[in-house]
Structure 1
Amino acid sequence: MRISLLDRSRTRAGRSEQAALADSIERAVTAEQLGHHRFWVAEHHTVPGIASGAPAVLLAAIGQRTERIRLGSGGVMLPNHRPLVVAEQFLMLEALTPGRIDLGLGRSLGFTAPVREALGRTEASTEDFAAEVGQVRDLLEGTAPLTARPVTAEPPPMHLLATGAGLGIAARLGLGVVLGGPVLHADDVGERIAAYRREFRPHRGSAPHVMVSMDLLVADTDAEARELALPEVWAMVRSRETGAFPPLEDPARIRAQELSSRERDRVEKGLESAWAGSPASLRPRVERVLEATGADELLAAGATFDRAALADTDARVMQLLG
């Protein structure tokens, strides 16, 4: 079981957004030292708690600080971009860091109407999205009417974030998939993955590949892991109250606040459902999901306020399934 990391460049109270990007780069360097297979970054536009809206730029910086670990996007939201621009960016990354680049593509638009208006794109239909994914692949492989540059020896492998019809599109185009969020917890997830594998049409020798993404946080005890999960849970609670996704806060500061009964309820429910715990309690939960999905790879996506604790949990994730 390969284990990889997804980093969202989360901001932290009292630290600048520039520091959050430096934190992402340092985390990638450590991930390589720990033996993680991939290090992926995300795309979020004008979200106060997330510093990175340009995955390709951040990956270029990470590529200059690492030597072996695969680098990619989880993902580039294709409806926000033209296929040619995406292909050019990732061919450039492939040329700069040969043999180490992955292109993960998603379908989500900006969270709010002003963001969507600023991006100038509207939601694409399933078929339009599939067609644009195909265009990106043709451009990467040099089979499109236009030649995207730089031309590279091999095109970066592509993966789809499997939301909605993503599994069917990936099977039809011969691409790997990433499962997370509601799709991962659907009652029929096993059947949907089986259909993906059954309907998979190989392309240039590709084979089905399933990555499962979980916000994993591992500590000595369940109580310690819950404290690690609290900053992200609290940010989600606050976003529901205010409409803005805030930076991660120190758990001690969160505990010292006067919470409403509704906020306390939501925090407790969030902590109960979090993928946070000791190795003994977390391992069976993770193994059940991996077995149900037949996953080929685990993509750990946890975040917390304490950067040293996050580095520790990244190391523990590598040992979780051993």
Structure 2
Amino acid sequence: MSVTPALSVLDLVPVRSGQTSAQAITASLSLAERADALGYRRYWFAEHHNMPAVASTTPPVLVAAAAGRTRSIRLGSGGVMLPNHSPLVVAEQFAALEAIAPGRIDLGLGRAPGSDPVITQLLRQSGTTSDVERFPDHVRDIASLVSAEGATVRFTSGGTYDVHATPAASGVPEVWLLGSSDYSAQLAASLGLPYVFANHFSGEGLDRALGLYRDQFQPSATLDAPRTFLTANAVVADTEAEAVERMLPQARMMARLRGNRPLTALETVEQAAAAEATDQLAAPLLDALHRRWFVGTGHDVRARLAAFATEHGVDEVMIAPVAASYDAEPLDAPVGRIRTLELLAG
């Protein structure tokens, strides 16, 4: 029997055609407020750079803004792409967020660049953060730095130096490791960290990654057993036909990404339908995405999410609500995404 999973939200802060970054962020913050009111478990912001359709470049800033607009939902990063940043700076940012919203902060860490090679080089110009091979060490460093005890630097010449992400921590953000590969699953297992597989991105290798994580898990001071949930794209509407219409702009965006085509702001439903009638950009992907994404009415998608959670042995699913907007809908209100959350909440 399927058990209804807890629901959470992953937000890339989509930017639609004709919309400013300010309007996109206003829309996402209203979505966070609604998720909080509906009882969603957590709300995470992704990190992506230099993409016309994505405004989630700085998760800590967005988390801070959302903290001022919500009361009980957990807030975090899904995730901070750690090789782009100094571990100490990340630790300081999330220690400050934990002080702003005590007991509500998640620090999801990822290893991917979150952009193209040019932007990755710009992000890593300092040189000290670009050693991807040191990713496991940097994860350990952050976990120590955000703790009340802090971390200790040991000099080769002798002596030590104490470092704290915040002077007097009364709480600690919960650290999660994110990924879509065997590497991330095995690293999370070896460090005894909770793990999230990025199923919303491709879904390839899901069963293997979860198996490796669960089989190789080593208990840690903060976690005594494997803990994981999954992400999934969702478009939910009052009718199946509307859900399918609201899915098309995101499907066309995925086709651009996979085909290395120039990226654009997210099309509206009407723009996508008109363009697809001419270029058939998403046609080769549509059937596969429709099967893998959760698209439909509230009743049908809730049932599918419950079966999905049961199949993979998780009690939580984090949805990326990717419902696009119609031309007439306000630029600063995510009507379709809000309706997705409302219908899934039941």
TM-score when scaled to structure 1? Answer: 0.89
Q: Aligned pair count?
A: 316
1:196 aligns with 2:213: yes
Q: Distance in 1 between matches of 2:66 and 2:52?
A: 22
Match of 2:145 among 132, 139, 159: 139
Residue equivalent to 2:155: none
Distance in structure 2 (CA, Å) of the matches to 1:300 and 1:262: 25
In structure 2, the residue matched to 1:216 is: 234
Give the match for residue 16 of structure 1.
20
Deviates more, 1:145-154 or 1:278-287: 278-287
Quote the Cα distance in structure 2 between the aligned partners of 1:256 and 1:182. Answer: 26
Q: Does 266-275 or 172-181 show the bigger shift?
A: 266-275
C-alpha separation between the residues in 2 aligned to 1:285 and 1:296? 14
Aligned runs of 1:243-258 on 2, under 5 Å?
243-257=261-275, 258=277
Aligned-partner residue type, residue 138 of structure 1: S
1:38-77 alignment runs, 5 A limit: 38-77=42-81
Moved more, 192-201 or 223-232: 192-201
Q: In the aligned structure 2, how far is the partner of 1:259 from the partner of 1:242?
A: 19
Aligned pair partner of 1:129 in 129, 135, 139 = 135
Q: Percent identity?
A: 34
Residue 150 (structure 1) shift: 4.1
CA distance in 2, matches of 1:236, 1:182: 11
**In 1, distance between residues paired with 2:297 and 2:195?**
28
Task: Identify which of 223, 230, 234 aligns with 2:252.
Answer: 234
Q: Contact conserved, 1:230 with 1:271, CA < 8 A, in 2?
A: no
In 2, Cα distance between equivalents of 1:283 and 1:182: 17
CA distance in 1, matches of 2:108, 2:131: 18
1:183 positional shift: 8.6
Say whether the 8 Å CA contact 2:80–2:109 is kept in structure 1.
yes
Kindly indicate whether the alpha-carbon contact (under 8 Å) linking 2:110 and 2:178 is maintained by their aligned counterparts in 1. yes
1:112-162: CA deviation from partner (whole Å, max 9, x where unpaired): 22101101154613xx21111111101111341122224311211111113
**Residue-by-residue CA offset, 1:200-237 (whole Å, 9 max, x unaligned):** 23323424211110011222333221112111112222
Q: Aligned equivalents of 1:85 and 1:136: distance in 2?
A: 9
Is the 2:197–2:209 contact (alpha carbons within 8 Å) kept by the matching residues of 1? no
Q: Distance in 1 between matches of 2:184 and 2:227?
A: 13
Please state which structure has a larger fraction of its residues in helix: 1
Note the 1:42-121 alignment, pairs <5 A: 42-120=46-124
Asked if structure 2 preserves the Cα contact closer than 8 Å seen for 1:236 and 1:245, the reply is no
Residue 225 of structure 1 pairs with residue 247 of structure 2? no
**Equivalence for 1:310:** 337
CA RMSD of aligned residues (A): 2.3
Q: Partner of 1:181: helix, strand, or coil?
A: coil
Residue 153 (structure 1) aligns with: 170
Q: Is the 8 A contact 1:32 1:69 kept in 2?
A: yes
> In 2, Cα distance between the equivalents of 1:50 and 1:190?
29
Q: Secondary structure at the match of 2:173?
A: coil
SS class of match (1:216): strand
Report deviation, 1:70: 0.7
Aligned residue for 2:35? 31
Q: Quick one: structure 1 residues 204 and 272, their matched pair in 2 at CA, closer, same or farther if it must change by over 3 Å?
A: closer
Partner Cα distance (1:259, 1:274) in 2? 24
In 1, Cα distance between the equivalents of 2:323 and 2:301?
17
Aligned to 1:276: 295
Partner Cα distance (2:8, 2:63) in 1: 15
Deviation of 1:313 after TM superposition, in Å, equals 0.8
Is the 8 Å Cα contact of residues 301 and 344 (structure 2) preserved in structure 1?
Answer: no
Q: Can you give the 5+ residue segments of structure 1 that lack an aligned partner in the other structure? A: none
Unaligned runs of 5+ in 2: 153-162, 326-333
* Normalised TM-score (structure 2): 0.84
Letter matched to residue 243 of structure 1:
R
